[in-house]
Structure 1
Amino acid sequence: MAIPFLLVAGCGSGPVGGVAAPASLASPVTSAAPSVSASPSSSSSVSSPSATSRPAPPPTAPSVTPARGCRSPEFTTSDLDGGWSSGGYYVHNNMWNADEAGPETLRACAYDNWYVDSSQPDSTSVKTYPNVHKDINEQRGAPFNDYSVIKSTFAGRGPGVGVYDVAYDLWLNGVGDGAGVSELMVWTENVKQRPAGDKLTTYTAAGFTYDVWADDEGYVAFVSRSTQYSGSVDLKAMIAWAIGKGLIPPNPTVNQIGYGVEFCSTGGGKARFTLTDFSVTMS
């Protein structure tokens, strides 16, 4: 059962799109499709030892080698709302914009080791948000002030083609569309994408500078000026900063923390996103 979406980012200068959150971990939607082994491929060239060897081809998009060698997935789905519970997390295909989305298949070896092949048309709306997330108290959440630590590690890489962003998606004071709900995103990779709202200011942490965007409907996005393929983020500090700026209400409940890719376009062809690390620490 999908929860109604809240308006979030749009692609380029196009219309605003949204992200639908899944049902609780206790009742995942699973796929009946069989597991499919993925064969790795490489974009690198190998030179001949001959003195007359041809020059190497120009660079291409990042390699599409499956995540951490995930060649025998435990879970595979092409369902619009297909998902899998693993290790206290939920891996979700989340093709929420079904009317405009092209085909997409997610294959997972673990919650922190999966990849998705997506083929999205060259248009300006968000189509899908395949992601892994942690539900807090089965999405009922817990007060922000109850935690001294809310941190996360990540490693994810987009295909380098099309229009997309790789991002955290945090839901506060509820999940999905609803009165008083806030959505806070942290973009770690951005290819031709534009957040909703207006750019207000900047935020700097751990040597990275983020442009901060917000609208008047509870949406806040921290957009890293430099690409981060892996690392860690202090989500407690980011939420606290946004509260201090009046962008999020004081002491919201923290209901869900996720990380994945918002695909707007893959240029009309197939493109791959890989995730090789994800964890959430709350205490």
Structure 2
Amino acid sequence: MRKILRFAVPAVAAAVSIVLTATSAQAAVWSSSDKFGSWSNGGYTLNNDVWGGGAGPQTIWANSYSNWGVNSNQPNTGGVKSYPHSGRTVGRKLSSLGSVTSSFNVSVPGQGAYETAYDIWADNNADEIMLWMNKTGAVGPIGSLQTTVSVGGHTWDVYRGSNGSNAVFSFLRHGNTNAGSVDIKAVLNWIKSKGWFGDVTLGDVQFGFEITSTGSALNFTSNSFSVSSS
């Protein structure tokens, strides 16, 4: 569960930090320690997205929409603290899309509580589809287990629920992976085939790190990421 208003940027978000952490990419072209620091590049928008209660400091840096990362220091308490991400808006009906695919490659720590996940929004944020590519520590999805399915190039446990604002469909991959690709349209078509939603309009396709706790400052890096649609 996260804030829906991902790309809302307060006035202070325009302030860009020029000091990176020692372990960040020293040649990064942009960085910010603002909670909702945001940067647009190549048709994508990056956001620090520190939205949870009791959150600690976090700095996002980027060389491009594809190569970016965060240094995050979150307390060992429950509840999601942040979802730093890169995202692209598709803005088309599912039936009009020939394909929607994405690929990613990340470097993540072996400690803390977090997942690397797609957060996909449809029908003006009425529906949220999460694709968990890896998870570490005490984290879990919203809702109840519905079934296990192989679709979009992966095998998932599928959960269905609500966060009180929108429906949430969470796909938890069998086995962690830090690199790969996914057929997003196939996943959306499968949800539609279950009657859980109709011919929805695909909005933002976001990808990043949903962080609950780190215990100390940890680094999360997107080495590459892209979304393609036709």
TM-score, normalization: structure 1?
A: 0.75
Equivalent of 1:123 in 77, 80, 98:
77
Deviation at 1:221? 0.7
Misfit runs of 4+, over 6 Å: none
Given that 2:80 and 2:212 are in contact with CA atoms closer than 8 Å, whether structure 1 keeps it comes out as yes
Given that 2:38 and 2:46 are in contact with CA atoms closer than 8 Å, whether structure 1 keeps it comes out as yes
- Whether 1:32 and 2:32 are equivalent positions in the alignment is no
Equivalent of 2:211 in 248, 251, 263:
263
Change in Cα spacing, 1:103 to 1:20, as seen in structure 2 (3 Å) is: farther
Change in Cα spacing, 1:241 to 1:205, as seen in structure 2 (3 Å) is: closer
Deviation at 1:96? 1.3
Specify the SS of the correspondent of 1:19. coil
Q: How does 1:221-240 map to 2 (within 5 A)?
A: 221-240=170-189
Equivalent of 2:51 in 81, 85, 96:
96
Deviation at 1:32? 2.6
- Whether 1:165 and 2:115 are equivalent positions in the alignment is yes
- Whether 1:219 and 2:168 are equivalent positions in the alignment is yes
Give the Cα–Cα distance (whole angstroms) in 2 for the partners of residues 158 and 23 of structure 1.
24
Give the Cα–Cα distance (whole angstroms) in 1 for the partners of residues 212 and 15 of structure 2.
24
Specify the SS of the correspondent of 2:199. coil
Residue 273 of structure 1 corresponds to 220
The letter of the residue matching 1:167 is A
Residue 198 of structure 2 corresponds to 250
Specify the SS of the correspondent of 2:20. coil
Given that 1:212 and 1:221 are in contact with CA atoms closer than 8 Å, whether structure 2 keeps it comes out as yes
Residue 87 of structure 1 corresponds to 42
Residue 105 of structure 1 corresponds to 59
Residue ranges of structure 2 left out of the alignment (5+ in a row): none
Deviation at 1:21? 3.4
Change in Cα spacing, 1:155 to 1:84, as seen in structure 2 (3 Å) is: same
Specify the SS of the correspondent of 1:226. coil
Deviation at 1:155? 1.2
| Paired-residue identity, % | 32
Change in Cα spacing, 1:174 to 1:279, as seen in structure 2 (3 Å) is: same
Equivalent of 1:185 in 130, 134, 138:
130
Specify the SS of the correspondent of 2:56. coil
Given that 1:35 and 1:74 are in contact with CA atoms closer than 8 Å, whether structure 2 keeps it comes out as no
Deviation at 1:227? 0.9
Which structure has the greater CA radius of gyration? 1
Specify the SS of the correspondent of 1:21. coil
- Whether 1:203 and 2:153 are equivalent positions in the alignment is no
Specify the SS of the correspondent of 2:185. helix
Equivalent of 1:155 in 89, 92, 105:
105
The letter of the residue matching 1:262 is E
Change in Cα spacing, 1:86 to 1:28, as seen in structure 2 (3 Å) is: farther
Given that 2:154 and 2:182 are in contact with CA atoms closer than 8 Å, whether structure 1 keeps it comes out as no
Deviation at 1:28? 11
The letter of the residue matching 2:36 is D
Deviations 1:178-210 (A, max 9, x none): xxx000010001113100000110121466321
Given that 2:131 and 2:170 are in contact with CA atoms closer than 8 Å, whether structure 1 keeps it comes out as yes
Residue 22 of structure 1 corresponds to 6
CA-atom RMSD in angstroms = 2.0
Deviations 1:153-183 (A, max 9, x none): 11123212111111000000013xxxxx000
Residue 94 of structure 2 corresponds to 144
Residue 46 of structure 1 corresponds to none
